[in-house]
């Protein structure tokens, strides 16, 4: 069992440029049931290619993975949502105002991202750009704001024979479609997830809000790691959402809030395995 996707989930890919085509192949190799691509200028590839999402709906997809360049991504996202598809937005650099507009069209659909590595239901299906070789099937759910940190932690877990159920990169932008709480709730319901690893970073208050939610709603053990303890004050570190204002959004404030809510916070990524 997994969250979000499984072996039967049908997927399309919007934006079959160089990156889209490369990761389409990696998704197919992992076993993802990619049934079609959407690109007005591409005629053929390893899956049928259509000019519009509406045309691809004859294959009855449930998700679209979006690699469309930032200046066109808003329209691509809205097109998918208007066809009742869940979307996983890999594209980075989408303007905040565009994502606000996309969110107005969300309805009951799921949105992961933007500026994220995607989702992997380990051993079943993968959306996005996470490296195939990192994963080992198991019972630890991972949710993270950072793509590269996700890879590091999953690699540590796998090398220590600790398997994962589902790994979700929610993205590091200021406006994202799914937050920590959304994914924590899914992990709580998933009978195949016994432990949860939460990977946060400086900026915003997502981790603080998650801490209170975990205390009141999550029964499974949660182990957290917060990146950016040595970040200079007032600096933006990589992600558009990783902005610290005064004493808010710092690593220390997040760690304190998590610990005050009874959540185990480790000082080093390598210490996660000692708490599972």
Convert the pLDDT of each residue in 207-220 to its tens digit: 999 999 999 999 99
Using the predicted structure, report yes or no on whether residue 96 has a pLDDT greater than 50.
Answer: yes
Query: pTM (2 decimals)?
Result: 0.93
Using the predicted structure, report yes or no on whether residue 242 has a pLDDT greater than 60.
Answer: no
Q: Which residues of 99-127 are buried (b: 16+ CB within 10 A; e: fewer)?
A: beebeebeeebbbbbbbbbbbbbbbbbbb
Query: What does the pLDDT average to over 174-203?
Result: 96
CA angle 217, 184, 203 (to 5 degrees): 105
Using the predicted structure, report yes or no on whether residue 21 has a pLDDT greater than 70.
Answer: yes
pLDDT of residue 235: 54
CA 243 to chain centre: 19
Choice among 19-28, 42-51, 54-63 with the minimum mean pLDDT: 42-51
pLDDT of residue 237: 52
pLDDT of residue 243: 53
Positions marked catalytic? 239
Using the predicted structure, report yes or no on whether residue 55 has a pLDDT greater than 80.
Answer: yes
Using the predicted structure, report yes or no on whether residue 244 has a pLDDT greater than 80.
Answer: no
- In degrees and rounded to multiples of 5, residue 37 shows phi and psi of -125, 160
Q: For residues 73 and 92, what is the distance between their CA atoms, to the nearest angstrom?
A: 9
pLDDT of residue 1: 46
Using the predicted structure, report yes or no on whether residue 239 has a pLDDT greater than 60.
Answer: no
Query: What does the pLDDT average to over 220-234?
Result: 82
pLDDT confidence tier of residue 204, bands split at 50, 70 and 90: confident
Helices (H), the chain: 18-30, 53-56, 70-82, 96-103, 147-159, 180-189, 206-217, 251-260
pLDDT of residue 72: 97
Which residues have C-beta within 8 Å of that of residue 24, sequence separation ≥ 6? 13, 16, 34, 37, 45, 46, 47
Of residues 71, 84, 60, the one with CA closest to residue 12:
60
Strands 164-169 and 118-121: antiparallel
pLDDT confidence tier of residue 258, bands split at 50, 70 and 90: very high
Using the predicted structure, report yes or no on whether residue 240 has a pLDDT greater than 80.
Answer: no
pLDDT confidence tier of residue 250, bands split at 50, 70 and 90: confident
Query: What does the pLDDT average to over 145-167?
Result: 97
pLDDT of residue 78: 98
Question: From edge to edge, which strands make up the β-sheet containing 10-14?
Answer: 49-50, 33-38, 10-14, 63-66, 86-89, 111-112
Q: 91: how many CB neighbours lie within 10 A of its CB? A: 23
Using the predicted structure, report yes or no on whether residue 49 has a pLDDT greater than 70.
Answer: yes
**Which residue segments constitute the domains of the chain, with CATH numbers given?**
1-115 (3.40.50.720), 131-276 (3.40.50.261)
């Amino acid at each position: 069992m997994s969250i979000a996707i499984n072996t039967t989930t049908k997927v399309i890919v919007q934006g079959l440029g160089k990156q889209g085509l490369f990761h389409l192949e990696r998704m197919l190799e992992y076993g993802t049931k990619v049934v079609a691509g959407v690109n007005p200028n591409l005629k053929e590839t390893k899956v049928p290619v259509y000019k519009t999402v509406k045309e691809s709906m004859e294959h009855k997809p449930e998700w679209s993975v979006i690699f469309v360049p930032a200046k066109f991504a808003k329209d691509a996202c809205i097109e998918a949502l208007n066809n009742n598809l869940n979307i996983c937005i890999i594209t980075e650099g989408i303007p905040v105002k565009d994502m606000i507009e996309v969110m107005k069209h969300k309805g009951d659909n799921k949105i992961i991202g933007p500026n994220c590595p995607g989702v992997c239901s380990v051993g079943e299906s993968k959306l996005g750009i996470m490296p195939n070789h990192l994963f080992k099937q198991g019972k630890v759910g991972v949710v993270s704001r950072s793509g590269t940190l996700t890879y590091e932690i999953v690699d540590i877990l796998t090398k220590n024979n600790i398997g994962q159920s589902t790994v979700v990169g929610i993205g590091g932008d200021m406006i994202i479609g799914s937050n920590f709480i959304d994914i924590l709730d899914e992990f709580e319901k998933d009978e195949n997830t016994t432990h949860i690893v939460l990977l946060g970073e400086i900026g915003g208050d997502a981790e603080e809000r998650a801490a209170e939610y975990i205390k009141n709603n999550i029964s499974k053990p949660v182990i957290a790691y917060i990146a950016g303890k040595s970040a200079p004050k007032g600096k933006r570190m990589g992600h558009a959402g990783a902005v610290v204002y005064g004493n808010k959004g710092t690593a220390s404030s997040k760690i304190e809030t998590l610990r005050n809510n009874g959540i185990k916070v480790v000082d080093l990524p390598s210490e996660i395995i000692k708490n599972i």
